[in-house]
Every structure is written in C-alpha cells, then in structure tokens.
Structure 1
Amino acid sequence: MNIGVDIGGTNMRAGIELGGSITRQSNILLENKESLSSTLSQLMDLIRPFTEYPVKGIGIGVPSVVDVDKGIVYNVMNIPSWEEVALRDIVEKEFNLPVFINNDVNCFTLGEHRFGLAKKYKSVVGMAIGTGLGSGIIINNELYSGNNCGAGEIGMLPYRDSILENYVCNRFFEDSLGCDAYEAHEAAIRGDSKVIRTWKEFGIHLGVVVKTILYTYDPEAIVLGGSIAKAERFFKPSMLESLKDFAYPESIKKLTLLLSENENIALLGAAALMEK
C-alpha cells in the first residue's frame, strides 16, 4: 500500500494504491502558484490524510526534469515558484516516510507497464499528448529515466520550422485553427470538414513521432495517453498511413499501439516508484 501523487500545473491529485487500484482519492486546485511556501503547504495538506493509513511510502510524479537520486525538481511546468525544490527531503521530513520522485510521464508509462494495458510487454514507450508532448520509456521491464531524467524527450527534436512537440500537442490546433484540441475534437464530431482535415494532418505529424521512437527504441508497444489521445479515431488512420514508408516494415507489423483507458494510471505509476 503506497501513496501516489500526481502534480500538475493546475491540479494536484493523490490516492492510495491497493491491489492495482487507487482508493481514497483526493484532488485539489493549486492556488497562489507564485509562492513556494503556499504550494508546498497545499501539497502537504493533500498528502497528510493518506498517511493515517499503513502505507509504505510516497511516490510523486512532477511535470519537470527531476534529479531522481537526490529528489530535486527543476522548473516545474506552470508552477513558477518551483525552480529548484528539494522535494523529496521536504516531504520525507514532513511525514517520516520514504519518498520517490520522477517525471509525470515516466509515472504514466510505469503505471501502464505495472498495472495497465502494457503489463505483458518488456519494452514500452508511453506518450502523453496534451498541452505538450512527453514520453516515458520502459526497457527490459525497467523504467529508464536517463542520466538527467531527460530520456524520451522526443518532442524537443527539430522538425520543420520548429520542434516536433509544436506539431503534436494542443498548440498545433491553436496555430492551425485558432482553437484548442478539445474544441477541434468537438468540431470533428460535428463533421466539420476543415477540422477533420486538420486532424488528419496531425496524424501525419504523430506518425513522425512514432517512427522516431521506433528508430530510437524499437519497443514492443507504444501507449498513447493525454487529453488529445481521446480523439484517436480522427488521427489514427492518417498516422498508420504515414508509417508505411518506415524503413523496416516488419517492425511496424510487430508494434502494438495502445490507447490508455485508466484515468488513474499516472497515480498508480507514481505509487509504483516505491517498488521499482
């Protein structure tokens, strides 16, 4: 029984992992993000009720680069006061429990591997597509974070006039249509032909990401998550079509593409940091 925490730029969630499920979950809206002391106090208040149960430790997923060995987080996305925070030491001191911290998309990927759709695969790449594009990597059943917790940042690779992320995240729809991906999804459902064409173009760009992952890691499975992945039916056909020019067609045949289904998978993956 472990506590899993998922920190976002707007909300923080926490819950207890028990038997592969999240129980006694809680969620808070993050306020006063300019203040380090205030945001840390909110985090402690979120976690504290769960420490009353016989938990072994706390795992925390954070949208940032993490010094995994020291438990320090840097430049946390959308929390300006978290430029460099020794989060592990702070939380361990507060609750006298072991604490493990990692990137949020790494936690998403670990959750899918330990408890979700990717349990039967030894090598997996998880992708969270939303405000940005993040990736997590499982190699030989182990989470691979890299030397600076920066492994899997496929979205930062140069692409066209910018980087891959800007073509495979919410910004793509803002630039192309002047609306966010949620609105674009709703318009596609209504049958808007221009928007549907934009989703097809999005699928082609996503196909470039998939090919990059295959050339780099050659995993057994790729798991798509994040808010934009819910629009799969509008981008998947063009994504698959774009994979036909991949240099190693047998790799495409063997690849399994999965769509994440469990809304608590990142919490489960954070809790699993205790066991990895």
Structure 2
Amino acid sequence: MSKSKTYTIGIDVGGTKISAVLFDGEKVVMDYMLATPKDNLEHFLIMVKAVVDPLLERAREMKVVVNGVGAGIAGVFDASGKKMLFSPNIPTINNVFLGERIEKFIGMPVLIDNDAKCFVRAEALIGAGKNYKNVFGLIVGTGIGGGWWINGDVYNGSHRGASEVDAMIIDSASGLNLEQGYHKIMQNNPGKMSQEAIIGDPLAEQVYNEFGRQLGIALANISNLIDPEIFVLGGGAVASSDLFLSIAKKEMKEHINSSDAAKKIKIVKSKLGANAGAIGAALLCGKS
C-alpha cells in the first residue's frame, strides 16, 4: 500500500520575485512566480495571494487537501518570529505582523520564517546537506542570507537573530558589512556584472575575484565559530559561481584555524535549485 502524501504550499519572498510551490512531501507538483512589489503593503499582500491561488486551484483539481502554508521572507524577525523588524529589500513590510496579515488575505493559517533558514531546512532535509548533521546554508542573490542547521533543526539563537551573515563586518575602518560590500563591488547589478565577466571583461573578472575573496573570509569566520561539515550555496549567484567559488574555497581554507577542518569542510551548490527556499517554507508545515 502506497504511503499517503501530505500536500503543503511554500512561498519564497525575495527582493525581486515571489515564488511558490505546491509540495507533496517529496517533490514539487506545481510552481508559480510573480514580481515582488515594493510600493505598499496592500500590493505586496495581493501579490502573495496571487501566487498562492493557482496552487490552491491545482490542489482542487487533484482533489487533494492543502494541509498548510509556509512563507520564507528575507529579513529579521522579532523573538516571537511573528513580526518583521527589518526587511532589507522590502521596507513596506517592516514592523508588520506579517503572518497574520498574509493569513487574512489567503484565508489559511500561515507559518513564517527567514528565507535563508527555509533554504537550509530544505537542503538539509532533502537536498545537498541531507547526509549531514551540521549544515550552513548561504543565499547569494539580491542580497546575502544565512541559516544554520544543527542536529535536526534550524538554530535561531536566543532572540531569533542568529546566522545574519549579511551583517558580518568585512572592513572595520569603514564599518562595511558583507552585503554592503557585495553590492558595492557589483555596482548594485550582479546580473549585469556576471554577464560581463562571462564574456571576458577583465574588470568584471576582477570584481568576482574580489567577491570570492570576501566570501571566503566570511566562510572562514563562520567555520571558526561553528565548524560546519558543509556549506550549501544557493540563490541567483549559483549560476555564476564558477567565477568566484574556487577563489572562495581557497581563501576559506587559508583562514580556518583548524587544519583538519580546512581539509574536510565542503562547499557545494544547492541540489534543489531555484525552488529550495519555497520547499523549505512548505516544510515548515511539517514541523512538530
């Protein structure tokens, strides 16, 4: 007798797009995507509902019940995990009890978490980190985010502020953090920069060399603090990772204090691809 499937919906809210999936516990049944609006909260909520509605319609066609909705959103939540304190890419949702507002719009209970934590949850449970207990996930896309999976769950810290790698200072003189440094060297347009590097523009190649160096130092700092078994890299930058990943690995190994860790810690690309964050959000509904 085949095992019955549990269907959930996961929403991944990024700086440029809102994507959602209908997930059956093993695979994505359907996905849908729209642009992220930033003009006002009402428009944002309308677009979230607009990505969910087609998935609910598919579930009705399949005659299956959707058992929950999860949402992963870039930003820092309060200690309760309900209020968005600060979203770097969507300021209109700052200081909003976002789960409650989305629930009212779509008419279903919603669980929410940080997008990078959703990403690492998916990769640790069914993706590239499946066979590891200590996994650090890193998203590099519109911005930079991180999440730490340790012994079967995401680590949030005492105040739900753990793993905010984007805020890691990389230049003490100027106070520049990792995400600010990323935007600065990419001239706020990583997509264009990667295209220029791919066709051999020497200045663009230098930019990616510098980003690889900065990322490698950040990964070494994380390694020296929590000693993960593996880093899983996701986000839009994965497509251009050949431009910086080897440099990042070299820089990381040079700055890890433990020679044993430097040899063994792995850096791999996401196995679940563009849907990883949405899958991780869907998996929120299966948490006990």
Percent of matched pairs sharing the same residue: 30
Identify which of 8, 19, 44 aligns with 1:2. 8
Aligned to 1:199: 208
Q: Is the 8 A contact 2:15 2:89 kept in 1?
A: yes
Q: Letter of the aligned partner of 2:260 in structure 1? A: E
How does 1:54-133 map onto structure 2 within 5 Å?
A: 54-67=65-78, 69=80, 71-94=82-105, 97-133=108-144
Identify which of 42, 46, 59 aligns with 1:41. 46
How does 1:6-45 map onto structure 2 within 5 Å?
A: 6-31=12-37, 33-45=38-50
- The answer for unaligned runs of 5 or more in structure 1 is none
Task: Give the TM-score normalised by structure 1.
Answer: 0.88
Deviation of residue 49 (structure 1)? 4.0
Q: Letter of the aligned partner of 2:18 in structure 1? A: M
Deviation of residue 235 (structure 1)? 1.6
The 1:26/1:123 distance shift into structure 2, 3 A limit, reads: same
Aligned to 2:264: 254
- The answer for unaligned runs of 5 or more in structure 2 is 1-6, 60-64
Aligned to 1:171: 184
Aligned to 1:229: 238
Deviation of residue 214 (structure 1)? 0.4
The 1:30/1:130 distance shift into structure 2, 3 A limit, reads: closer
| SS of aligned partner of 1:264 | helix
Deviation of residue 180 (structure 1)? 2.6
RMSD: 2.2
| SS of aligned partner of 1:57 | strand
Aligned to 2:164: 153
Q: Is the 8 A contact 2:81 2:160 kept in 1?
A: no
Residues paired across the two proteins, number: 270
- Give the whole-Å Cα distance in 2 for the aligned partners of 1:180 and 1:89: 34
| SS of aligned partner of 1:25 | strand
The 1:265/1:201 distance shift into structure 2, 3 A limit, reads: same
